[in-house]
Structures are given as C-alpha cells and as structure tokens.
Structure 1
Amino acid sequence: MADEISIKLATSKDAEQVLKFLRETAMESDAVLIPHLNEVSQTEEARNIDLINQFDDCVMLLAMLEDEIVGMVTVMVLENQPTTGELGVIVRKKYWRNGIGRLLVDEAEYWFNTYSSLENLVLTVFEDNVAAIKLYHQLNFVDTGRTIEEGHRVIQMKYRPRK
C-alpha cells in the first residue's frame, strides 16, 4: 500500500480537501484534537496553509492515494518553545496498518533534519495507542513523560536522531 502513496506539500489549493479529511478523521478517531475544526472556513484554511508554507519551522505534508488524502503529517512550532516543533500524524482509518504513518513520520524527520530551523521535535500520543508508540520508538522517538490531556492518558516523546 505505502508504495502506491505519494507525499506532497500542502498548498492553499488543497484547503477544501484538507478540511474534509480532518473533519472525517476526527469522527473516526478521538486522536484528532483540533479546536473549532467545524468552524474553520475553506478561506481560513487556505490562509493557514499559506502561512505554514512561509516558515521553515512548520510543515504540512499530505499522503495521497491518487487524488484522495489518506494521511497527513504536520510539524507546528510550539508557542511557548520557539525552537521546538510538535509532530502530528493522522491516517484515514481504513488505511491504518499499511505503512502510511511510517512513511509520513519518515518524511517529517527528513524535513526536520534537512530544511527545518527547529532544534527539537516532540509529539504526544495516547497511552493506549500501542501501534503508534511502537512505531515512534522504531523511528527514534524516546519517552519523556506521561500526563493527562483532555481526559486522555498520554505519553510525551522526543525525537533523538541516530548519531
């Protein structure tokens, strides 16, 4: 499956499809935690994507199966930590366990190591998402803490590139 997937940088032209993807995946999984998602207009999302693309500390990449978005990875700089980016990965449920998440994280790591001005890459994952935790460990993330966020027990992780 993953060999049929292409990865592309999101552009403002993708805004409608990105919003549709996010709204649908938010109903498939409680891991999609985007405040006010249903209130974001296509115009606002297009502006958001354009803004993301102006900086070297943020990125939004789309996993495409022909013309369908089947996954997305974002790295967004943390407001209170300007040298740290937070990784977010979403894969459409019917494509889970097909290597798409690994492909997206690999692409984000490449972007981080090659193009980003960030010093750190972190993520938060639900404690019961065993498959994702295993994947992140395989892809050089280490646990840095545990907490409860929005009613969910989560593990905080940090990227540690191999030397």
Structure 2
Amino acid sequence: MADEVHIKLATADDAAKVLDFLRQAATESDAVLIPHLADVTAEQERRNIEMINSFDDCVIMLAMLGNQPIGIVTVMVLEKQPNAGELGVVVAKPYWRNGIGQLLVGEAEYWFQNYSSLQRLVLTVFAENVPAIRLYQKLGFRQTGQHRDGQRKVLEMEYQN
C-alpha cells in the first residue's frame, strides 16, 4: 500500500528534517522568506520548535509522506498585533497542486478556531501567485490590503470565520 500524507504537530525531534525541507523549498520557490535560513543549526531549530510549541498562539504542523516532510504550515503571533497570527504555508514543489496546501491551511484554521487564543488569522501572498490566492479565498480568506515589496505586489489577506 502506498504511503499516505498525514499531518502532525512538529516536535523538537523533527528539527533537522524541517531545516532540510525548508532549505530545499527555498530553492524551489521565492516565497520562502526565512532570514538566515542557511545559518540555522539543527539545535537552534530544535529550540525554536520547542518554544513555538510552548505557546497557545503559535503552531507548526508538518505534512508527512512516510517519514519525510513535504509541507509545513505555521501560525506565528504578530509582535505588533498580539491578537493576530500570521499564516505561512510551504509545500515541496513535486507536490504542488495535489491538495497538500489545502490540507495544511485547513488544519491551521481548525487549530485557530479550536485551540488558539488568537482573534485573527492573516497572511501575505505575492499577487502573481494566483493558485495560492484562489486557495486562500476558497478557504475563507479575503483580501484586506496590498502593498509593494520591491518590484512585486503583495496582497494582505485575513481569515473570516
């Protein structure tokens, strides 16, 4: 029987795999915007995951195919808006357009509604990323603003219950 994709909360033991996944994904998409990703050690990532898991307003979940992450979703509380969490989603390129992003965002929405202390779920997406925008709209996000990040237009979106 073929392996099935399942979603799990990331644990400190996943740190090295998470780093490997994010570094590979950064070569496949310019939407992976993690500062100093190349410099982060597995031990630092381990501590980051432990810290994230200690708060009720942050979460990191992995889409796993067998023993390997093929997608990740995070919700991180915004420092300047402590009632809002920023959603981040990355799916490995070979798995684009296979429902993995939808699965991850759906899990994040469920966590937001049932477990978090947050009041709002927000995200930013490059305007040319039409498949992602359609997915977010399908899952209840609406555009709340836009701005430029260098030469690129970025849409701001918010989840609506």
TM-score, normalization: structure 2? 0.97
- Give the residue type in structure 1 aligned to 2:11: T
Residue 151 of structure 1: CA displacement?
Answer: 4.2
Percent of aligned positions with the same letter in both sequences?
A: 61
Structure 1 outlier segments of 4+, above 3 Å: none
Q: Please say if 1:124 is aligned against 2:118.
A: no
Distance 1:16 1:135, change over 3 A: same
Counterpart Cα distance in 2 of 1:56 and 1:148: 32
Q: Where does residue 91 of structure 1 map in the other structure?
A: 91
**Corresponding residue number in structure 1 for 2:22:** 22
Unmatched 5+ stretches in structure 1 = none
Between the aligned partners of 2:10 and 2:153, the Cα distance in structure 1 is: 31
The match for 2:41 is: 41
Q: What's the secondary structure of 2:55's corresponding residue?
A: coil
Q: Distance in 1 between matches of 2:149 and 2:93?
A: 22
Alpha-carbon distance in 2 for matches of 1:135, 1:68: 24
CA distance 1:115–1:95, shift in 2 (3 Å)? same
Q: Secondary structure at the match of 1:117?
A: coil
Evaluate the alpha carbon distance shift between residue 151 and residue 17 of structure 1 in structure 2; reply closer, same or farther with a 3 A threshold: farther
Structure 1 residue 153 displacement after superposition: 1.2
* In 2: Cα distance, 1:151 partner to 1:48 partner: 32
Give the alignment of 1:12-161 within 5 angstroms.
12-161=12-161
Partner AA of 1:78 in structure 2:
L
**TM-score of the superposition, structure 1-length normalised?**
0.95
Counterpart of 2:114, as a letter, is T
Q: Once the 2 structures are TM-superposed, how far is the Cα of residue 4 of structure 1 from its aligned partner?
A: 2.0
Structure 2 counterpart SS, 1:88: strand
Question: Once the two structures are superposed, what CA deviation does each residue of 1:48-68 show, in whole Å capped at 9, x if it has no partner?
Answer: 000000000000000000011
The structure-2 alpha-carbon separation of the partners of 1:151 and 1:48, relative to structure 1 and needing over 3 Å to count, comes to: farther
Following the alignment from structure 1 to structure 2, what is the Cα–Cα distance between the partners of residues 44 and 113? 30
Q: Which string of whole-angstrom CA distances, capped at 9 and with x for unpartnered residues, describes residues 17-72 of structure 1?
A: 00000000001000000000011111100000000000000000000000110000
Once the two structures are TM-superposed, the CA of residue 150 in structure 1 deviates from its matched residue by: 4.9
Q: CA RMSD in A?
A: 1.0
